[in-house]
Structure 1
């Protein structure tokens, strides 16, 4: 027994627990004071903070397990720096990309809300609101696509809302960073969000800008119906649905939606890229036509007093 006691006494201490996001609240990372945790994804934490002059910002900090991987860090920083060059009203402005004290981070504008949070609070949104949000997102996508940048992981949580209700896209390049890391290292990591993956992503085929229109279609379906068109607990079954199963009709769930709006969503959700919008300009033209043309029911209510 004394031997056992000696062995226990001389055992090395357990390794320290990995840092938690709460450990960073109240600390300064680079030029930013971190005030509270806003959320977290698979690779990073997002904090609300302030610049030294008091300007409110959001700060995305790469989780230590990934910040400690030089190859992942390099890809993450390169994609963040590429995204920082996308200066457009409907794309989040990235202020600063750097490493400080073992943390890799970037600062960006702080928005009042996100589309994901709004849907969670309010449920299905009015058609007029969805048309405006879709137009904002299409403008941002069109600008990025024109510069050779594809989002690859568009979803409600990556669409932020300013206080005036306008939409801005965030997280450009993150999915590409992960994809490049997986391809070069063979590490098994989830790329993108399964509920929003295009058929070509699910099949591992070549991608172009039309993957973002498919994800926008899923996003608009979620905003309109309060749920995604395809759901399964098994990833492979969900991938099969994206590839093979037609999406349910939106107007069966919400008859008050216009046929024109439903057609836009279903065109975004076409299985083959050639059957979707070829570019953002084409999508914007159809969105504008829906907004400009009053619905028959609305016209009749106005006419009849």
Structure 2
């Protein structure tokens, strides 16, 4: 049995790949498993313990686009936040240049594409797609649309000899990296696979989970008949067919398709969203009902060729990693120095939770502090925002607006409470108390220097000016981490140890952000720190990168350009009247609102040079 994550026709000779034999993190890349539009998947072996994982590496030509790398990072975390057993697990990620990569579970089995080409019995393919429907519904509830469903991305795992196949949906969220209004046009990427693409997706319209329902309908058609609904050649012809041409009924292609199954497939392929199944679970229920009706009636004609020997899968006990709906009050500090806001936690998983809010959403990748209010008292964890669901998306997806977070700094007590909640408990059973050591005086002196700035911005935390150069930041982070790591071996009190972990997390995060010019530029923009953006330009941030970052920034701050425009016009008026100092001040106010405006940055710097070259009165 083949052990590939992608179909064999997507692979080329291993010797042509320069990454083979190299090491990423702790894994050596020993064999290429497949190649897709966003990245290449390799078999990776741990250099020390020999364990095997799949390593997905973002294509080199895409790694130059900050938005793609950032969303690669965010979607990878969102996959684990879903926590569904039928979605391939992601265990680690590295979004740093030059080649971002993911560490995923290595699957042994075959893709569903190994079964295409001849009609497959409904009792084989319907249970397979039913599992895929469950995975997709879990994702849709959390605002994630796959966008690139096809047989290559539905993988059949043989968990034991003679056991039925278990479905894993691959590349989940990777296609979601690209948005119709994002930088994909610059990168030259087409979203999705034309043969499986919904009409609304090919028209770059707003999408919801029904786009994936359509793609599942195409796969169902292909399983039932042995061919695609449209046989047109070329991308444009395929897209036009999906948009305008009704598919021929499956029964007209292969008479062995039953009337109930035929009806379900055609409804899932409806051009209009309102005529399609409203969600993946509705499609699953319709497929299973059609199968039951077919099995009660006369058997269909046998297929012209026997399908591969794959038995229908059985439902397994839900994984303990599956998210559990809850209703828990929480206090959330959305930004450093802000007052806690009272929100409701509506879903929890082992790695994170979802928080409902009608207010402003925090920035993606930002750190927030979440305090769960349990009967035994309050438990707090530092988290990172990995998913945003706007009110518009929530309306489309039938869920509450809010944001998903992943735990990055949670105490053992907090984790124990999450485990209890996932098992149906209340989370109120405390950990067994241990003897509390006294505070370490020397450690307290060092930690106190960070304590007052812990909830402030990265520059304040590191006691750096906001226009610090790259080398100064690196030196400060290196010194701070050295001092803090040195405290780990000392006999700290529990409160000191918790503070130390919080400070270490914040300092590492600050270092990762401020020593990467693209991440720092976006961070500075959200902070209103145009002088930091200037430092990024001096450190090598390119114009192309700056322009891509500004597009993302204006999505988050849609009023920024208009507000800055008022200050720009004011500065222009002062400049025409020869009041250069006032013009500089006006431009600075504009840059504080829209720090990534390259034209304004250039005008401001030129005017500042002109002002400094003026003779003193």
TM-score relative to the length of structure 1? 0.83
What is the CA–CA distance in structure 2 between the aligned matches of 1:76 and 1:152, rounded to whole Å?
14
Does structure 1 residue 42 correspond to structure 2 residue 32? no
**Cα 1:116/1:133, change in 2 over 3 Å:** closer
Change (3 A) 1:185 1:22: closer
Matched, 1:32 2:33: no
Q: Which residue of 2 aligns with 1:296?
A: 297
Q: Over residues 271-292 of structure 1, what are the superposed CA-to-partner deviations in whole Å (9 max), with x where a residue is unaligned?
A: 1011111122222222232343
Per the alignment, do residues 241 and 194 of structure 1 end up closer, same or farther by CA in structure 2, a change over 3 Å counting? Answer: same
**1:258 equivalent in structure 2:** 258
Q: Distance in 2 between matches of 1:180 and 1:285?
A: 31
* Contact 2:86–2:167 (Cα < 8 Å) also in 1: yes
Cα 1:72–1:281, aligned 2, differ >3 Å: closer, same or farther? closer
CA distance in 2 between partners of 1:105 and 1:197 (Å): 26
Find the counterpart in structure 1 of residue 106 from structure 2. Answer: 110
- Is 2:83 the partner of 1:82? no
SS at match of 2:41: strand
Distance in 1 between residues matched to 2:184 and 2:298, nearest whole Å: 56
Partner deviation per Cα, 1:62-99 (whole Å, 9 max, x = no partner): 12222233332222222222223221111111111114
Contact kept in structure 2, 1:40 and 1:46, CA below 8 Å: yes
Asked if the contact 2:128–2:167 (Cα under 8 Å) also holds between the matched residues in 1, the reply is yes
Q: Which runs of 5+ in 1 are unaligned?
A: 1-19, 300-305
Three-state SS of the structure 2 residue aligned to 1:128 is helix
Q: Which residue of 1 aligns with 2:201?
A: 201
For 1:243 and 1:96, how far apart are their aligned partners in 2? 39
Deviations 1:242-294 (A, max 9, x none): 11111112122221222211211111101101111112222222223234332
1:205-216 correspondence runs (5 A):
205-216=205-216
Following TM superposition, by how much is the alpha carbon of 1:101 offset from its aligned partner in structure 2, in angstroms?
A: 7.3
CA contact (8 A) 1:75 1:181 kept: no
**Paired position in structure 2 for 1:287:** 287
Root-mean-square deviation (Å) = 2.4
SS in 2 for 1:65: coil
When normalised by structure 2's length, the TM-score is 0.43
Tell me the equivalent position of 2:267. 267
Cα displacement string for residues 82-136 of structure 1 (whole angstroms, at most 9, x for unaligned residues)? 223221111111111114673211011222234344125x743221111111110
CA distance in 2, matches of 1:249, 1:159: 24
1:156 corresponds, among 151, 157, 161, to 151
For residue 200 of structure 1, report the CA deviation from its aligned partner. Answer: 0.8
DSSP 3-state at the match of 1:35 = strand
Q: Return the alpha-carbon distance in structure 2 between the equivalents of residues 46 and 184 of structure 1.
A: 21
- Off by >6 Å, runs of 4+ in structure 1: none
Q: Is the 8 A contact 2:225 2:257 kept in 1?
A: no
Quick check: 2:31–2:42 contact (8 Å CA) kept in 1? yes
Residues in 2 aligned to 1:110 and 1:117: alpha-carbon distance in whole angstroms:
18
Cα distance change, pair 181–118 in 1 and its aligned pair in 2 (3 A): same
Select the structure of larger CA radius of gyration.
Answer: 2
Q: Give the structure 2 partner of residue 173 of structure 1.
A: 173
> Aligned equivalents of 1:189 and 1:137: distance in 2?
26
For the residues of structure 2 that align with 1:33 and 1:100, how far apart are their CA atoms?
Answer: 18
The match for 1:96 is 92
State the aligned residue count. Answer: 280
- The offset of 1:236, in angstroms, is 2.7
1-side partners of 2:34 and 2:147: how far apart? 20
Asked if structure 1 preserves the Cα contact closer than 8 Å seen for 2:178 and 2:184, the reply is no
Q: Secondary structure at the match of 1:103?
A: coil
Partner Cα distance (1:184, 1:99) in 2: 18
Kept in 1: contact 2:112–2:156 (CA 8 A): no
Q: Is the 8 A contact 2:153 2:171 kept in 1?
A: yes
Shift of 1:26: 2.5
Note if contact 1:21-1:45 (Cα within 8 Å) is conserved in structure 2: no
The aligned counterpart of 2:61 is 65
Task: Give the aligned partner of residue 129 of structure 2.
Answer: 134
